[in-house]
A and B are shown apart, each in its own frame.
Chain A
């Protein structure tokens, strides 16, 4: 490579390196150092307390709640979205009229800003005036009406339903693209061999959907890890912490109660989980090219 080329490569990479170096790497390092202090203010100096915040978090009563909520949320949201998305993709793959329009319809929830999805679903789930309970009353199913987001036992479920609503169409399109990329001869050959539709999907097609599953898994996992916008507008983590997740807890601790060091420690835990899961994914997907 000649000198001129080297200079231009340097110049072309400079903005990205400076921008991410500062905003992604320098700041996450800074966050790590804040997480080891007892900072409660932006101005006054703080004491170094080592892993004190992490210890405090592990011993905090809210820790158990958050871990439990996160586990339920991640499993039900991801499982539900993947299954419904796969089912929807297979149904669309049957060759339906108006496929183009249908794809647009199922992608609308993904296009909605998360904040607005949160507002919409708080309208859906509002116990007194809310749309779902109104619908149930109109259908004379009054006994099925629920307290929804006002109940400590149902709030997390409401968040999960809203999240499934957001991502199902997107996952369905991922799966559909994967199904359509498989050679047609496979399904034709399976048909000639006498396989039923069910056998065709179960034995031939679904085993080959690993790429879409991995991709969907990555997207859904990252979104459930950093979940904030929708949860915040829908339940604010409540009532009584019943839908508290890492994202909402971190926000409350840091920006509402000014436990900066403690909030930074929670954020740091999110950072570590994200890296542990996403680095192998990224490494794999880049190396495969």
Chain B
């Protein structure tokens, strides 16, 4: 097992810069997700680590060894592809044995190791079948088996769960996480599904347009997003981001949303004023940090119900505040219907404020200071 370091990695395809000067330090034995929308460069990074793409600039280290110029077989990495890339003409056994077979290991050793691997993955009874006769879940395990049998320095997984059906995907998340712990392996996986990243990874690198927007633990990513992109990408539904400006009038501080005024608690308002250069900003609040009422309450803000989506155990209400719409998570017994009034108030300790121009966080309510990048 090894740490993985990317140093100023840049990869261009023609004129397009798919990866821009990315630096990333992954610890030994860590489970890391590369998360981002499609086309953000996450798969390119994975392929650079595997050696399938050659970076234009920067270096890659596996352990302490620089591997930038090595060909894939010499890097001691194994990779699970999105389509699993199983060899259709070989049985599951031969697929798993393939990497050892290539390295001309003795037959007994191969048989022993395949047996052990199959036990770990609970696929011992399918070993004689060919990929065409296996279900999606079984194929995925065979692909994992082919990766783990070599005991490589690093595992690379490209959208490992994307080809599974929804139900299987949820159970596979837990299993993959257990497997990683059991092997104590360094694993890097690529996903566009933030829930998958949050549930499995120890640390997540959120990517956009070829750069890493934030690299941190799941808690950090969720609670201390570095910028609007990260805050908007993480969480279902995503954080509400509302354009507004901050004003101080007659000693009290408020946010102006379009034509409406929203008073801000004094402690937060004061802290904000000290940090901002321009009064224009973006106010961010997660749906679960807004409470909604059928009747007017002190300090609450009048809105109109735009749509109500019952989710079984709760309701998701979209409210109209001036020209913006915000999602609110609430109890099932919330009674108001479309077009009726509702009053909301915000948990200011969990509010976020972003610079409108750069998107970077100015401060958030939790510790009232901007967080490290």
Residues of chain A whose beta carbon lies under 8 Å from any beta carbon of chain B: 2, 4-5
B71 at the A interface (CB under 8 A): yes
Q: Mark B144-161, 1 if CB is under 8 A from A, else 0.
A: 000000000000000000
Q: How far apart are the CA atoms of A5 and B71 in the complex, in Å?
A: 10
CB distance from B69 to the nearest CB of A (A): 8
Q: How far apart are the CA atoms of A4 and B71 in the complex, in Å?
A: 9
Q: Who on chain B is nearest to A3 by CB?
A: B71
Q: Mark B40-76, 1 if CB is under 8 A from A, else 0.
A: 0000000000000000000000000000000100000
Q: How far apart are the CA atoms of A2 and B71 in the complex, in Å?
A: 7
Q: How many residues on chain B are close to A (CB under 8 Å)?
A: 1
Interface of chain B residues 71 through 98 with chain A (CB within 8 A): 71
Q: For A4, what are the chain B residues with a Cβ–Cβ distance below 8 Å?
A: 71
Q: How far apart are the CA atoms of A66 and B8 in the complex, in Å?
A: 71
Q: Who on chain A is nearest to B70 by CB?
A: A2
CB distance from A45 to the nearest CB of B (A): 55
Q: Who on chain A is nearest to B71 by CB?
A: A2
Q: How far apart are the CA atoms of A99 and B128 in the complex, in Å?
A: 38
Q: Could you tell me the dominant secondary structure of chain B's interface residues?
A: loop
Q: For B71, what are the chain A residues with a Cβ–Cβ distance below 8 Å?
A: 2, 4-5
Q: How far apart are the CA atoms of A2 and B73 in the complex, in Å?
A: 12
Q: How far apart are the CA atoms of A5 and B52 in the complex, in Å?
A: 13
Q: For A5, what are the chain B residues with a Cβ–Cβ distance below 8 Å?
A: 71
Q: For A2, what are the chain B residues with a Cβ–Cβ distance below 8 Å?
A: 71
Q: How far apart are the CA atoms of A250 and B102 in the complex, in Å?
A: 55
Number of A-B contacts (CB under 8 A): 3
3 pairs from A and B in contact (CB 8 Å cutoff): A2-B71, A4-B71, A5-B71
CB distance from A141 to the nearest CB of B (A): 60
CB distance from A166 to the nearest CB of B (A): 38
Q: How far apart are the CA atoms of A2 and B52 in the complex, in Å?
A: 11
Q: Who on chain B is nearest to A1 by CB?
A: B54
- What 3 A-B pairs come out closest when comparing CB atoms? A2-B71, A4-B71, A5-B71
CB distance from B48 to the nearest CB of A (A): 15
Q: Who on chain B is nearest to A4 by CB?
A: B71
CB distance from A3 to the nearest CB of B (A): 9
Q: How far apart are the CA atoms of A207 and B296 in the complex, in Å?
A: 69
Q: Who on chain B is nearest to A2 by CB?
A: B71
CB distance from A170 to the nearest CB of B (A): 32
CB distance from A96 to the nearest CB of B (A): 33
CB distance from B16 to the nearest CB of A (A): 20
CB distance from B205 to the nearest CB of A (A): 28
Q: Mark B223-267, 1 if CB is under 8 A from A, else 0.
A: 000000000000000000000000000000000000000000000
Q: How far apart are the CA atoms of A5 and B72 in the complex, in Å?
A: 12
Q: How far apart are the CA atoms of A61 and B71 in the complex, in Å?
A: 67
CB distance from A56 to the nearest CB of B (A): 54
Q: Who on chain A is nearest to B74 by CB?
A: A2
Q: How far apart are the CA atoms of A4 and B70 in the complex, in Å?
A: 12
Q: How far apart are the CA atoms of A2 and B70 in the complex, in Å?
A: 9
CB distance from B247 to the nearest CB of A (A): 61
Q: How far apart are the CA atoms of A77 and B349 in the complex, in Å?
A: 86
CB distance from B53 to the nearest CB of A (A): 12
Q: How far apart are the CA atoms of A5 and B70 in the complex, in Å?
A: 12
CB distance from A81 to the nearest CB of B (A): 39
CB distance from B54 to the nearest CB of A (A): 8
CB distance from A276 to the nearest CB of B (A): 34
Q: How far apart are the CA atoms of A195 and B105 in the complex, in Å?
A: 68
CB distance from B275 to the nearest CB of A (A): 52
Q: Who on chain A is nearest to B69 by CB?
A: A2
Q: Mark B173-190, 1 if CB is under 8 A from A, else 0.
A: 000000000000000000
CB distance from A60 to the nearest CB of B (A): 56
CB distance from A9 to the nearest CB of B (A): 14
Q: How far apart are the CA atoms of A2 and B72 in the complex, in Å?
A: 10
CB distance from B325 to the nearest CB of A (A): 40
CB distance from B67 to the nearest CB of A (A): 13
Q: How far apart are the CA atoms of A4 and B343 in the complex, in Å?
A: 70
Q: Who on chain A is nearest to B51 by CB?
A: A2
Q: How far apart are the CA atoms of A5 and B54 in the complex, in Å?
A: 14
CB distance from B95 to the nearest CB of A (A): 24
CB distance from A4 to the nearest CB of B (A): 7
Q: Who on chain B is nearest to A5 by CB?
A: B71
CB distance from B72 to the nearest CB of A (A): 10
CB distance from A7 to the nearest CB of B (A): 13
Q: How far apart are the CA atoms of A136 and B71 in the complex, in Å?
A: 76
Q: How far apart are the CA atoms of A26 and B71 in the complex, in Å?
A: 38
CB distance from A67 to the nearest CB of B (A): 50
CB distance from B225 to the nearest CB of A (A): 41
Q: How far apart are the CA atoms of A2 and B75 in the complex, in Å?
A: 14
Q: How far apart are the CA atoms of A2 and B54 in the complex, in Å?
A: 10
CB distance from B256 to the nearest CB of A (A): 56
